[in-house]
Amino acid sequence: MRGRAPPFGPFESKLLPLQPTRIGRDGVFEGYASLFRVPDLGKDVVEPGAFRESLLRRGPAGIKLLWQHDPAEPIGRWLSLVEDARGLFVRGRLSLAVARAREIHALMRDGALDGLSIGFRSEKARTEPRTGLRRLERIDLWEVSVVTFPMLPQARIAAVKAVRPAAFV
């Protein structure tokens, strides 16, 4: 699936499913936004280290948490984004003061919304002629979105944190 194009080059997005296990009241969730060496439905494969430079350059504050890749729909912020041996592990918080984030939170709690997607620009990639797979070796990560339809069915959210609101303490 292709995303919106920034003014200076092609922009892409890759979708991953979430599987809400524990949905907390504070909107914090974590999971894998990308898995290494796993072909997605668009025949792209993210290689280990592909996010490293972008994460160092941007940090969590420089990577947006959006709804359906829409830059007019920020829904929270990323608390951390880390490459590990499996892929890109993210931890974010929905801004529950925002109406759309409250809706998304409710849908996650009901198990009706379960996707994550990366929005990026490919900086270094190679296509394997035999398989047609595109190996993404360096990615400029712009955003990670909560989405309806994921591109990589194998990725899952690890947890959604629960904190009791002050009104119930």
The residue extents of the domains of the chain are 12-163
Span 134-156, average pLDDT? 84
Half-sphere exposure of 45 (CA within 13 A, CB side): 13
| Residue pLDDT, tens place only, 59-113 | 999 999 999 989 999 999 999 999 999 999 999 999 999 999 999 998 887 878 8
Q: For residue 55, give Cα distances in angstroms to 62, 156, 166.
A: 9, 21, 34
Q: Which residues are catalytic?
A: 69, 117, 143
How confident is the prediction for the chain on average, in pLDDT?
Answer: 82
Q: What share of the chain in percent tops pLDDT 90?
A: 57
Q: How many CA atoms lie within 13 A of 30 on its CB side?
A: 12
pTM of the complete model beyond 0.75: yes
